[in-house]
């Protein structure tokens, strides 16, 4: 077996592969390849001589409308990328149905991309089906490109533990589609999101496999040199939803990491297509969310630090006049300041009711005895 520099095409030689023919498939290292006859390229029809060339010229004007019609019929039957992705979403979200409204890629990006943040999917079958749409060369290139963009949506919305298995499949499929798109002369702005994922594959793996508590150090270590929106989305995931802020040092680390992300976002070039523009809005929105979360945690930590230094005066009993601090009921938890406050308040009721003149329970007992008599 020998392969060219183009990893989307694999050349197989020998008697063991004589059974392969048109539409035949073979799996190599977990990647499925389809047989392609290089002598029967579709572009050669235009150069053919004879009746075939005349028939091709007659059919060509109506070919595009027919393909659009058949594609629409296929979507209605639930066989295309659009219904596949819609099924994937509807199983986890209550999306309202609108008669005659087709949920295509543009609809998802313009209206619902920001709502698909940090979603947990259990339907791996439809995810793998989208990967097969990208790989299968029997489908029109635009159909495969649509499926690839749906994979990009999943890449920015899936949780890290789900991407461990899916990311290698995505990388191989997107790599082959990028190579084929370059040969076809597809606009670079359309292929750019796919090329980013392929180029920064190792960086994405590093972020996905990274422990959430170590993510601020990884972001700060990058120095704001991130040049991909997909890397920024994956960096924001653990900071927004998995990172546990317990101490002031944790708070300062997350705040510094957010400043690095904002610095990287400002240096990124303008969006080249509708998908990158929507993704940029997602990153900006999540940065705002993280900033609000930091402010809330800062208030919690300030209250906790204040309570750690509060002193109560024991009003009566053997320890009358002594100081009681919250250190004795300290807890490293972020929300433990609530328990500390309750503990400090209960100190005033520790006295079982002595005969001291300032004992609140003694005065209450005297009031009750007088009332009963």
Confidence class of residue 109 from pLDDT cuts 50, 70 and 90?
confident
Whole-number Å distance between alpha carbons of 256 and 262 = 10
Residue 250's Cβ-count burial label (10 Å; 0-12, 13-18, 19+) is middle
Half-sphere exposure of 142 (CA within 13 A, CB side): 6
Average pLDDT estimate for 214-230: 85
Is-above-0.85 flag for pTM? Answer: no
| pLDDT score at 93 | 54
257 DSSP 8-state letter = H
Query: Would you state the pLDDT for residue 160?
Result: 74
Domain map (residue ranges) of the chain: 2-34, 75-209, 213-302, 309-372
User: Helix (H) and strand (E) counts for the chain?
Assistant: 14, 6
Higher pLDDT, 217 or 74: 217
Give pLDDT, residue 123: 58
Q: Is 348 helix (H, G, I), strand (E, B) or coil?
A: coil
Supply angle C-alpha 207, 209, 214, rounded to 5.
65
Selection from 45, 64, 65 nearest residue 55 by Cα: 45
pLDDT of residue 255: 93
Query: Residues 197, 204: contact at Cβ < 8 Å?
Result: yes
Mean pLDDT of 261-286: 87
User: What's the pLDDT at 257?
Assistant: 93
More confident residue, 95 or 328: 95
Rounded mean pLDDT, 87-116: 62
Query: How would residue 38 be classed by pLDDT, with cut points 50, 70 and 90?
Result: very low
The better pLDDT of the pair 277, 45 is held by: 277
Q: Give me the pLDDT at residue 148, please.
A: 92
Rounded-to-integer distance, Cα 215 and Cα 213, Å: 6
3-state secondary structure (DSSP) of residue 323: strand
pLDDT in tens, 276-323: 888 888 888 889 999 999 999 998 888 877 766 665 555 555 555 555
The Cα–Cα gap between 368 and 187 comes to: 88
What pLDDT score was predicted for residue 136? 84
């Amino acid at each position: 077996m020998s392969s060219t520099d183009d990893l989307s095409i694999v050349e197989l030689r020998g008697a063991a592969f004589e059974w392969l023919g048109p539409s035949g498939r073979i799996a190599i290292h977990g990647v499925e390849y389809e047989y392609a006859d290089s002598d029967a390229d579709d572009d050669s029809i235009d150069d053919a001589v004879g009746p075939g060339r005349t028939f091709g010229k007659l059919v060509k004007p109506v070919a595009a409308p027919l393909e659009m019609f058949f594609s629409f019929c296929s979507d209605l039957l639930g066989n295309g990328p659009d219904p596949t992705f819609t099924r994937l979403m509807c199983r986890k979200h209550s999306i309202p149905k609108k008669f005659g409204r087709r949920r295509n890629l543009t609809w998802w990006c313009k209206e619902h991309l920001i709502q698909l943040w940090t979603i947990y999917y259990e339907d791996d079958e439809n995810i793998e089906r989208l990967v097969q749409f990208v790989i299968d060369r029997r489908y029109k290139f635009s159909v495969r490109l649509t499926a690839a963009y749906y994979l990009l949506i999943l890449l920015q919305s899936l949780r890290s533990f789900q991407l461990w298995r899916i990311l290698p499949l995505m990388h191989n499929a997107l790599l082959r589609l990028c190579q084929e798109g370059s040969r076809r002369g597809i606009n670079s702005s359309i292929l750019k999101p796919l090329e980013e994922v392929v180029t920064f594959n190792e960086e994405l793996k590093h972020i996905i496999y990274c422990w959430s508590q170590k993510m601020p150090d990884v972001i700060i270590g990058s120095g704001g040199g991130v040049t991909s929106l997909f890397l920024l989305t994956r960096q924001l995931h653990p900071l927004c939803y998995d990172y546990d802020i317990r101490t002031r040092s944790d708070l300062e680390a997350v705040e510094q990491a957010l400043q690095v992300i904002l610095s990287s976002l400002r240096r990124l070039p303008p969006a080249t297509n509708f998908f990158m523009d929507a993704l940029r809005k997602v990153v900006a929105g999540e940065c705002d969310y993280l900033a609000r979360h930091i402010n809330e945690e800062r208030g919690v930590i300030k209250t906790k630090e204040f309570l750690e230094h509060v002193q109560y005066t024991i009003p009566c009993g053997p320890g009358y006049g002594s100081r009681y601090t919250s250190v004795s009921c300290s807890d490293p938890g972020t929300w433990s300041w609530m328990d500390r406050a309750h503990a400090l308040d209960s100190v005033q009721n520790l006295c079982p009711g002595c005969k001291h003149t300032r004992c609140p329970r003694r005065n209450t007992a005297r009031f009750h005895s007088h009332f009963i008599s």
